[in-house]
Amino acid sequence: MGIRNKLFLTFLGTFVVLIVAASGFYFFAFEQSLRKYIDERQQAQVERLADHLGVLYAQRGSWDFLLSDPRVLGRLYWLAGDRNTDTEPGKRDRRDAPRHLTLLTADRRPLIGPPPTQQFSRLVPIRTDNDLVGWLAYPDQEAIRDKLDRRFQERQLNFAGWMALVGLALSLLVSWLLARHLVAPVTALSAHTRKLREGDYQTRLGSRRRDELGDLIRHVDSLGERLDQGQKARQRWFSDIAHELRTPLSVLQGELEAVVDGVRPLNHETIAALESEVRQLTHLVNDLHDLALADAGNLRYHFTALDLDTLCEDAVDAVRPALGRRRVRLRTDLSPARVNGDPVRLRQLLDNLLQNSLKYTDEGGEVHLTLGRDGDDWRLTLNDSAPGVPDDALPKLFDHLYRVESSRNRQTGGAGLGLAIARRIVEAHGGTMEADHSPLGGLRITVRLPL
């Protein structure tokens, strides 16, 4: 059974239970109100009749006027009532005494009417001044309901029945509309996720709902957007990898073809050029391998206590000759910093950062490396001079194979994997890595590692 049918039956069952409960409460309240109304009306009518009989008894001195003509009691009874009956007005005077009404003497002996043997009989005293001259006895209201009372009750019951039928019809309609309204977004989500499964990441549902279903639709749209971005990134990743690998392979192929054709002699210089291209290709493949392992969480780390400032000094000493050849000034401000990390991977991080500054800093520029404590973290900051990085490029610097083409090229730059690998290393150590504009005019890389 589908969710729409389940919701429909649930709503319908709920509405039916409410209708039955409301109808039962209405019928119970109606019966109680009708019972109380008849009791009060009968009580008032009999009390008025008792007052009339008291006046007549005071005038006649006995009950002989009733014993000689019992129909007088009936006429007085109907005259005491203030209601219309099913009997024609001209026939009221010829009525006999009401069968449910009994006239008793002061000592409760029956004079007119059936003897009040019912346990539910009620008594109303008949007085003349302060003297008790008789009683009027009548049963409970169930025994004195007339045709009008029953007709009124039947009409109310019919009305309640029609109300129940109309309520049931409305329940069917409302249950169907509610089930359709609630299931419509679920059906749309099902169709949308089917498209996502088939690889269509462009479609968006969109919703202005402010409930949980609206949140779910927006989450699914966000998921589709992420999948679309992931697909485009994967396609761009494969294209960039093929492009990066094609360059050194093309150079190698051209060099080898030149040697085979005799255009270029096979000497030490040619072999050195070929070895340089192979080394560049090997470095690229190794970087891709490391990045793939880092993304999969399989890059191995061996954590140990180490001095980060000493590691920084070693990395700076290794790159200082290359910076000197490009006349790039290097300044360091390193505070003693004890951390728990992998020395090999942290050295790889420092080498990537320093090589990045070496490759992309203009000759005669400046590089400034600082290390110090910042709250609960060690903060490592690398600032270099021009050229800078555009604002829109800052968030993309850590993407795979991303390069700012205005300042990075294949002659001076790399494949755009160094910062991506560096960020994975920092994250594996529980830290963060950010890129921003440097006060020196270039790029500032900030690394935070926990104490």
pLDDT at site 402: 61
Architecture of the structural domain at 212-295: Orthogonal Bundle (1.10)
Residues 6+ apart with CB under 8 A from 76: 49, 52, 53, 56
pLDDT (tens place) for every residue of the chain, 451 residues total: 666 677 777 777 787 787 778 777 877 887 778 778 777 877 888 888 888 888 888 888 888 888 887 777 777 877 776 544 444 444 444 445 566 778 888 888 888 877 776 555 678 898 888 788 888 887 765 555 556 566 777 777 787 778 778 878 888 888 877 777 777 777 777 788 888 887 777 777 777 777 777 788 888 888 888 888 777 767 776 776 776 677 678 778 888 888 888 878 888 888 887 887 787 778 777 767 776 776 666 667 788 999 999 999 998 998 888 888 889 899 999 989 899 988 888 988 898 888 888 888 888 899 999 999 988 889 999 999 988 888 877 777 777 666 665 444 444 445 566 787 788 888 888 899 898 898 988 889 999 998 8
Q: Computed from CA positions of residues 319, 321, 327, 330, in that sequence, does the dihedral angle turn out positive or negative?
A: positive
Largest CA distance in the chain: 160
Provide the residue ranges of all domains of the chain, joining segments of one domain with +.
3-148, 212-295, 304-450
pLDDT at site 421: 78
pLDDT at site 369: 93
pLDDT at site 92: 44
pLDDT at site 404: 62
Of the candidates 193, 213, 211, which has an alpha carbon nearest to the alpha carbon of residue 203? 193
Task: Give the count of alpha carbons within 13 A of 419, CB side only.
Answer: 28
Could you tell me if residue 95 is left (phi over 0), alpha (psi between -120 and 50 degrees) or otherwise beta? beta
pTM of the predicted structure, to 2 decimals: 0.47
Q: What is the dihedral of CA 160, 166, 172, 178, to 10 degrees?
A: -100
pLDDT at site 447: 92
Q: Domain 304-450 falls in which CATH fold?
A: Heat Shock Protein 90 (3.30.565)
What is the rounded distance in angstroms from the CA atom of residue 181 to the CA atom of residue 186?
10
Burial of 16 (0-12, 13-18, 19+ CB in 10 A): middle
Residues 6+ apart with CB under 8 A from 216: 185, 189
pLDDT at site 271: 84
Residues 6+ apart with CB under 8 A from 86: 146, 147, 148
pLDDT at site 53: 85
* Beta carbons of 113 and 101 less than 8 angstroms apart: yes
Could you tell me if residue 363 is left (phi over 0), alpha (psi between -120 and 50 degrees) or otherwise beta? beta
